[in-house]
Structure 1
Amino acid sequence: MMALKYEQIAEWLRRRISDGEIPPGGKLPTGREIATEWGVAMGTVNKAIDTLRDDGLVVSRQGSGHTVIEQAVARPAGHRKRGTSRLSGAAPYRRVGLPERAVPPQPVVDALGLGPGEKALKRVRVLLLDDGSSMSLVIAWFTLAVAEACPKLAEMAPIAEGTTHYVRRCTGRSPVEAEDITRVALATEEEASLLGLERPAAVAVVLHTAFDQDHRALVCEVGVTPAHVFEETDNYPMGQQN
């Protein structure tokens, strides 16, 4: 199915941002320039830019156009329901170490469908609160098939267009469903160190697995959040059905 014109324009701008052609803090082309280049109405251009803004890629300031964000943000693991913005729950973060190939823990092995001793690509980030303290640790695991098709996953730099869009662009695979498993545990020594906790410390652990249209795992994230920060709210209908 061919993407709509505004989606094509949004993808074109994402690629320019990701390739560094439009750097952090840089301005997008004006709406009129984009409309002329693509031969579309301004309404189509505005819809494309709204898509990037909802994804947290650009900010709009009256009188100064649209600017690529300078501070990368990311979301905690899980809760990626359809219709939620990339900015939903997003926060600034810092990378921990370099991405590396390693054998994941057994729950991740099972989620990704790996064989015994099979490695995956590991990326670690810590989301930050407004005061700079740690909010949540997220360890993302990608199969080597995905990692090899998406070389930027092995780099230290943030992926400006967002990991989901980048993986889709490189592989043609998009997340269409997910499974989140949440449990309570005591932080491991490594988790406590990265989150600045004194052991023993209770944490909420979310195992989030995203699957593509063929129900193949795209990524498995392990999110670890201190008990004093973790909060989950769910709204749902009640009452008898007729």
Structure 2
Amino acid sequence: MPLLKYEQIADDLRTRVANGEFGPGDLLPSGRDLAEQWGVSRATVVKAYDILRHDGLVAARQGSGFVVAETPVARPAGGRRAGTSRLSGGTPYRRLGTPDRTVPPAHVAEALGLARGEAALRRARLTLLDDGAPHSLVTAWFPAAVADAAPRLSAKGPIAEGTTHYVRRETGRSPVEGTDVTTVRLATDEEARLLEVHRPTAVAVVLHTAYDRQGRALVCEEGVTPSHVFEQTDNYPMR
């Protein structure tokens, strides 16, 4: 399905940020300039910027317009329902180590549909609370086909536009279905160290897998959150 005009504008701005034309804190083109460039109304440009703002890629600066966000945000694993945004559930985060290719745990390999002994690309991050304390340890696993087509996944730094948009741009594949499985266990020594908790402590583990239109796994994320900060709220109608 072809993108609507405001989606095209948003994608173009994502690409320009990803290519380094605009860096953190830089002022982005004005609504008037973009409206003239694309031959659209100012309202269409506003919708494009709203998408980027909800993605956490840009921030409004009073009296100036929009700038590239200086502090990228990321979400804990799971909860990727249609209509949700990085901004609504996102927090500052810290990248851990350098992405590498290794054989994932059996439950991750099964979720990704990998053959026995097949490697995947691993990226880890630590989402943070408002005071800078650890919130959730998230390890993302990408099948080799996705990692090969999207080489920036192997880079150490953050991907400002977000991995979902980047993977879609590089591969043409978008997530259309997600599965979240939540379990509870005790933290491992390494998890306790990174999350700054003492063992034994209970953690909630969310295994999130995103699938494209053909049912192929794009990514599997495992999020580990200590019990004292894990909270899940569901609002729903009752009759």
Q: TM-score normalised to the size of structure 1?
A: 0.97
2:134 and 2:195 in contact (8 A); partners too: yes
Q: Which residue of 1 aligns with 2:62?
A: 62
The equivalences for 1:32-47 within 5 A come to 32-47=32-47
Q: Which residue of 2 aligns with 1:97?
A: 97
Q: Distance in 2 between matches of 1:2 and 1:81?
A: 22
Q: Which residue of 1 aligns with 2:158?
A: 158
Q: TM-score normalised to the size of structure 2?
A: 0.98
Q: Which residue of 1 aligns with 2:122?
A: 122
Question: 1:142 is matched by which residue type in structure 2?
Answer: F
Q: Distance in 2 between matches of 1:189 and 1:214?
A: 38
Deviation at 1:174, TM superposition (A): 0.5
Deviation at 1:2, TM superposition (A): 1.4
Listed one character per residue, the Cα deviations across residues 66-93 of structure 1 (whole Å, up to 9, x for unaligned) are 0100111100000111111221221101
2:111 and 2:209 in contact (8 A); partners too: yes
Question: 1:161 is matched by which residue type in structure 2?
Answer: E
* Range that drifts further, 229-238 or 149-158: 229-238
Q: For 2:97, what is the secondary structure of its paired residue?
A: coil
Q: Which residue of 1 aligns with 2:228?
A: 228
Q: Distance in 2 between matches of 1:20 and 1:193?
A: 35
2:53 and 2:87 in contact (8 A); partners too: no
Q: For 1:130, what is the secondary structure of its paired residue?
A: coil
Q: Distance in 2 between matches of 1:132 and 1:48?
A: 31
Q: Distance in 2 between matches of 1:62 and 1:235?
A: 34
Q: Which residue of 2 aligns with 1:48?
A: 48
Listed one character per residue, the Cα deviations across residues 199-221 of structure 1 (whole Å, up to 9, x for unaligned) are 11110000000001111100000
Q: Which residue of 2 aligns with 1:215?
A: 215
Q: Distance in 2 between matches of 1:47 and 1:105?
A: 41
Deviation at 1:62, TM superposition (A): 2.3
Deviation at 1:189, TM superposition (A): 1.1
Q: Which residue of 2 aligns with 1:178?
A: 178
The equivalences for 1:103-118 within 5 A come to 103-118=103-118
Deviation at 1:61, TM superposition (A): 2.1
Q: Distance in 1 between matches of 2:232 and 2:41?
A: 42
Question: 1:152 is matched by which residue type in structure 2?
Answer: R
Q: For 2:87, what is the secondary structure of its paired residue?
A: coil
Deviation at 1:131, TM superposition (A): 1.2
Question: 2:58 is matched by which residue type in structure 1?
Answer: V
Q: Distance in 1 between matches of 2:162 and 2:95?
A: 15
Listed one character per residue, the Cα deviations across residues 155-187 of structure 1 (whole Å, up to 9, x for unaligned) are 011101111000000011101111100000000
Q: Which residue of 1 aligns with 2:140?
A: 140
Listed one character per residue, the Cα deviations across residues 116-175 of structure 1 (whole Å, up to 9, x for unaligned) are 111000000001111111000000000010000000000011101111000000011101
* Range that drifts further, 7-16 or 86-95: 86-95
Q: Distance in 1 between matches of 2:123 and 2:49?
A: 29
- 5+ residue gaps in structure 1? none
Q: Which residue of 2 aligns with 1:74?
A: 74
Q: Which residue of 2 aligns with 1:198?
A: 198
Deviation at 1:233, TM superposition (A): 1.0
